[in-house]
A and B are shown apart, each in its own frame.
Chain A
Amino acid sequence: MSSQDSHDPRLEQAAATDDSIISAHEKAAEGRPDVDGNYRLMPLVLLFVFSGMIFFGGTYLHRYTGYFSPEIFDERQHAGGPVIAAPKMDPVVLGMKQYNLACVTCHMPTGQGLPSVYPPLVDSEWVTGSEERLIAIVLHGLKGPITVKGNVYSVAAMPAFGQVAGGGYNWSDEKIAAVLTYIRQEWGNTAGPIETATVTAIREKEVGRAEWTEAELLKLP
């Protein structure tokens, strides 16, 4: 026991040599032999505590890491759990957007088209009538004259908008369904909406098709 009667703040005295510190602790680290079958409680306590920590860490990691998925930013989420689907855009809104992107140039914002050149969509039997025929026109395009509301339009051709060979627009089936739903309820038209699935079915049925002619279209139901 060092006999430091006063602790002089200007100089702290050493109570042990460096060599003895090293050697004494080295001996202490070797541990005591189990004399008389005595055992120390400390190692068991420490082992218990450490195991408890590992257990806590393990369960916490199991629950709150989403199995280390890089897609999970919310720790409450389970990996492979329910995924919230994207909110669906209103087909009429999407359809109007698509219409204004591409269709207005010919069919006009009013849907009236241009006399003798582009057929109108307002009150047109092709628009409000058969779904299949309408989808076919937009998917693959139209070539040759077509009679709409008693008038013949033979000057221009309609390009292919679908994801078909030779098509320049490559609109997805969802977009086509949307734009057709839009025109079928706009400007006084009151026909029903068109499902994406219907478009897909028709596209898959008519693979490798060139533009339709009026005669071929009329053969469709």
Chain B
Amino acid sequence: MTQTTSSTASTGVSEIDTSSRCALSFLIVASLLWLVTGGVLALLNLVQTHSPGFLADCFLFTHGRLDAMQETALVYGWAGNAGIAVALWLLSRLGGSALRGTNYLVGGTLFWNIGVMIGVCGIAFGDMTSFSLMQMPDYVQPLMLVAYALMAAPGVLAWTGRRNDSTFATQWYAVAALFLFPWFFSAAQVMLLFVPVRGTLQSVISTWYAQNLFSLWMAPLAIAALYYLVPKIRGKVMPNYDFAIYGFWSLIVFGTWMGGRHLIGGPVPAWIPSVALGAGVLVLFHHMIVYLNMSGIGGSGGVVMKFAKYGFYAYLLSGVIDALFSLRSFAVITQFTLFQDAQWQLAFASFSLIIFGALYYLVPRISGAAWPSSGLVRGHYLATLLGYSVLIISLGFAGWQQGTALNDSTISFEAIAAQYRPWLLVASAAQALLLVGNLALLVNFIRILFVRTSEASASQFRQPRNLEASSS
């Protein structure tokens, strides 16, 4: 079903895509390079957890620094770049016009990645801030903010200059993420680094920032991609869409209060973790609504739909687990253990899987050609799915075991370490598998950059039809 003549609608679309090809490709290649780098650092870090002597003599890779480095590389390098790329593509597509200000975008991307590089190196030399998910040294943080503004500007412009007056759920989520990030980032920078607040208030703000990074930045970007991909590929209107607006606002309003769940039993007033639990339960309303909307995600599908599906299930599970384990009776076991790492990996996996799906969809469109190798695509998919499942489950079990042992004062730390060592060996293998999969994606992407677009390749893209406004 190929067409040699294109209607005005598809000309517009392909123009939007090709005009942003250079800028978005830059973002994506940067994100994939950081994904692989971060994957290597994360693997080394996990190996050190079960074999402390590994790389112990190298001051650059001492465990504490390596932990901060892998976190920074994956969150600011991979998630930062890829999230923005997906958001900008979605907003330009739905806004109906090409990305404007791509020069700023390219400049911003350059400075953002220079910043992350300086940040990671700075951590290796000992300048880390000690705040979780905000470990980059003081001197590089303002640069990140400026670079971000340059990158996000085209996205907001794509939304304000949109052709249709009405907006779609994707746009709400994407604009929310792009708009809110600089506010909570700068607030955290000021109150933690430049005019620090006193004592344990720093931990309140640090957890507020870390929670916002997921709830107001990574999650909305992933959900934005889902809201676009599902009707786009399935060709059906999403059911119960009239409630999508409530799902959106419940995430934005309640999600930011959940940071206190990391401070249960800590030196902060007890109301902070309690409020976090209340918010954690209320934010499940958002998960419910998105679940109702995403009924088309199940069933057979290509790689994009499969990534989106498993990422979505991971997202739902992550929300339930975060709320459940904010209850103090569960937290007494899982707090301060590897279970928390499993929780973070689950949340991060949900973001990554959905973004992988979005990348597999959008890259052919901006490049004008299909992915060169189906083997690499399938390999990446299997490696990622298997890798994340095994990683999260093994860390979860290790953490639970560790937690129950920690609460028994007769068990020494050596015994606890011996207990969770096998789980960590399995987790390291899973992390290595993830790295292999991500390398496959990187290789595939670099190959697609060199594919020359031609008329023949353009005809691969089938003409989509118009969606009927069916009743929910």
Chain A residues close to B by CB (< 8 Å): 1-4, 7-32, 42-43, 46, 49-50, 53-54, 56-58, 60-61, 64-66, 68-75, 77
Expressed in whole angstroms, the Cα–Cα distance for A11 and B368 within the complex equals: 11
Chain B residues close to A by CB (< 8 Å): 1, 9, 13, 93-94, 96, 164, 166-169, 228, 231-235, 237-238, 240-246, 267-271, 273-275, 277-279, 281-282, 284-285, 288-289, 292, 300-305, 328, 360-361, 364, 370-374, 377-378, 381, 460-462, 464-472
Return A177 CB to nearest CB of chain B, in Å. 35
Return B247 CB to nearest CB of chain A, in Å. 10
Return B1 CB to nearest CB of chain A, in Å. 8
Q: Which residues of A contact B93 (CB under 8 A)?
A: 18
Return B264 CB to nearest CB of chain A, in Å. 8
Expressed in whole angstroms, the Cα–Cα distance for A14 and B365 within the complex equals: 11
Specify which of B1, B241, B470 lies most central, judged by the most chain A CB atoms within 10 Å of its CB: B241
B contact face: mostly helix, strand, loop, or mixed: helix
CB atoms of A1 and B275 under 8 A apart: no
**Do A50 and B285 form a contact, CB below 8 Å, given A61-B274, A61-B278, A68-B271?**
yes
Q: Which residues of B contact A72 (CB under 8 A)?
A: 269-271
CB atoms of A10 and B371 under 8 A apart: yes
Q: Which residues of A contact B13 (CB under 8 A)?
A: 17-18
Identify the 7 closest CB pairs spanning chains A and B, nearest first: A15-B235, A7-B302, A65-B271, A57-B278, A11-B370, A75-B270, A20-B466
CB atoms of B242 and A18 under 8 A apart: no
B279, closest chain A residue (CB):
A57
Specify which of A7, A13, A72, A74 lies most central, judged by the most chain B CB atoms within 10 Å of its CB: A13
Q: Which residues of B contact A8 (CB under 8 A)?
A: 302, 370, 374
Instruction: Please list 22 pairs of residues, one from A and one from B, whose beta carbons are closer than 8 Å in the complex, sorted by A's number.
Output: A9-B371, A9-B374, A9-B378, A14-B461, A16-B466, A17-B467, A18-B96, A19-B164, A25-B168, A25-B169, A25-B238, A28-B241, A46-B285, A46-B289, A56-B278, A57-B278, A66-B270, A68-B271, A71-B269, A72-B271, A74-B270, A75-B273
Return B59 CB to nearest CB of chain A, in Å. 37
Expressed in whole angstroms, the Cα–Cα distance for A8 and B421 within the complex equals: 41
Q: Which residues of B contact A3 (CB under 8 A)?
A: 1
CB atoms of B467 and A49 under 8 A apart: no
Return B452 CB to nearest CB of chain A, in Å. 16
CB atoms of A16 and B231 under 8 A apart: yes
Q: Which residues of A contact B282 (CB under 8 A)?
A: 53-54, 57
Expressed in whole angstroms, the Cα–Cα distance for A66 and B466 within the complex equals: 56
CB atoms of B469 and A28 under 8 A apart: yes
CB atoms of A15 and B234 under 8 A apart: yes
CB atoms of B304 and A12 under 8 A apart: yes
Return B205 CB to nearest CB of chain A, in Å. 16
Expressed in whole angstroms, the Cα–Cα distance for A65 and B277 within the complex equals: 11
CB atoms of B232 and A21 under 8 A apart: yes
CB atoms of A15 and B233 under 8 A apart: yes
Contact of B275 among A16, A19, A61 (CB under 8 A): A61
Return B137 CB to nearest CB of chain A, in Å. 32
**A14-B233, A25-B237 given. 12 additional CB < 8 A pairs?**
A9-B303, A10-B364, A13-B461, A14-B461, A15-B232, A15-B465, A19-B164, A20-B467, A22-B167, A23-B164, A42-B240, A72-B271
B457, closest chain A residue (CB):
A11
CB atoms of B241 and A29 under 8 A apart: yes
A3, closest chain B residue (CB):
B1
Q: Which residues of A contact B464 (CB under 8 A)?
A: 13-17
Return A4 CB to nearest CB of chain B, in Å. 7
Q: Which residues of B contact A69 (CB under 8 A)?
A: 269, 271
Q: Which residues of B contact A26 (CB under 8 A)?
A: 166, 168
Q: Which residues of B contact A7 (CB under 8 A)?
A: 300-303, 305
Return B61 CB to nearest CB of chain A, in Å. 37
Expressed in whole angstroms, the Cα–Cα distance for A49 and B284 within the complex equals: 10
Return A149 CB to nearest CB of chain B, in Å. 57
CB atoms of B364 and A25 under 8 A apart: no
Q: Which residues of B contact A68 (CB under 8 A)?
A: 269, 271
Return B87 CB to nearest CB of chain A, in Å. 15
CB atoms of A21 and B231 under 8 A apart: yes
Q: Which residues of A contact B465 (CB under 8 A)?
A: 15-17, 20
Return B51 CB to nearest CB of chain A, in Å. 37
**Do A14 and B462 form a contact, CB below 8 Å, given A25-B169, A26-B166?**
yes
